[in-house]
Chain A
Amino acid sequence: MKRPILIHPDPRLKKVAAPVDDLSDARRKLAEDMLETMYDAPGIGLAAPQVGVAERLIVLDCVKEEGAAPRPLVMFNPEVVAASETLNTYEEGCLSIPEQYAEVTRPAEVQVRWMDADGHPREESFDGLWATCVQHEIDHLNGKLFIDYLGPMKRQMITRKMVKLKREKAKA
């Protein structure tokens, strides 16, 4: 089941999400719903706070090549355990900030530890778009958006556009 995505500015996007200390079918269903919502958007990552759930859960799939097999990842309590000194700049966008894109610089490679949907601890190293995306999603769990990396002028301009967009959506 698809869930509505919160649009910035929203206080729920600014909160630190709580760790998940027990798994359940309800949480697995939430992860499944988030994947469906993400693919439909279309997006390459989604964090639980974006659908109004203040829990440390993210989903992502950064497979870009057309025709390639999808690789949906569900991460409970994801944590960056190591980051490269090498940086990478990528033009990021966010499903909570539709149609706005800006360059953000982050570590090019990160080692991430998480719990998968079956409760198994996992650890993997990500680079390229995967590294950017997993860091972008973990930021959401800490109440941080990609526009927080931009200058105040640019951030305010984007926020004003979103306020306008929400007003138009409310009217329609």
Chain B
Amino acid sequence: MSARPAPRPILRWPDPRLRRPAAPVEAVTDATRALWDEMIAVMEAMPGVGLAAPQLGVMERLAVVDASEARGQAIRMANPEILDTSRETAERTEASPCLPGVSAVVRRPARVTVRFLNEAGVIDRREFEGLWAVSVQHQIDHLEGRMFFDRLSRVKRDMILRRAKKAG
């Protein structure tokens, strides 16, 4: 008998892998699907509304997002790209499990249209709004090696990182 291996641990800032852009996924395979499942398990354990593969040290352009109240609605994405953003913006408090104990208000477009490869390996386009839109943009930032605090002013950013250091 074998037991399911424990999920990979979440990287902690300032791990250099959180600063590197991830590589595009060539094709959606069983290994991709297994990794998405692992990412969803980690996201639910946090609990959180999204996770990007680099947060687990896997440098591939994979993300999962589930901003539903009921849970179990996760969207699995490979190579997500923002096609279009609304002019209207919205503010939300964001945080990351890579940087425990701190959060900040970030302003982003309120709605985004995202293109990605879905679970079946087929190109999909979807419009997101509300918390879903926040999470999907936050995950795409991770795939670019960007953190949510990169969207803040320098002063706020430094403050957050100082606080994170203390908390960590």
Contact = CB atoms under 8 A, between A and B. Distances in A.
A64 B3 CA distance: 10
Interface string B1-44: 11110000000000000000000000000100010000000000
B34 A44 contact: no
A44 B4 contact: no
A136 B4 contact: no
B1 A137 contact: yes
> How big is chain B's contact interface, by range?
under 10
Contacts of B2: 41-44, 93-95, 98
Interface string A20-52: 000000000000000000000111110000000
A93 B1 contact: yes
Contacts of A64: 3
Interface of A: 41-45, 60, 64, 91-95, 98-99, 101, 129, 132-133, 136-137, 146, 161
10 contacts: A43-B2, A44-B1, A44-B3, A92-B3, A94-B1, A98-B2, A99-B34, A101-B4, A136-B1, A137-B1
Interface of B: 1-4, 30, 34
Given A44-B1, A45-B1, A93-B4, 20 more contacts: A42-B2, A44-B2, A44-B3, A60-B1, A64-B3, A91-B4, A92-B1, A92-B3, A93-B1, A93-B3, A95-B1, A98-B2, A99-B34, A101-B4, A129-B3, A132-B1, A136-B1, A137-B1, A146-B1, A161-B30
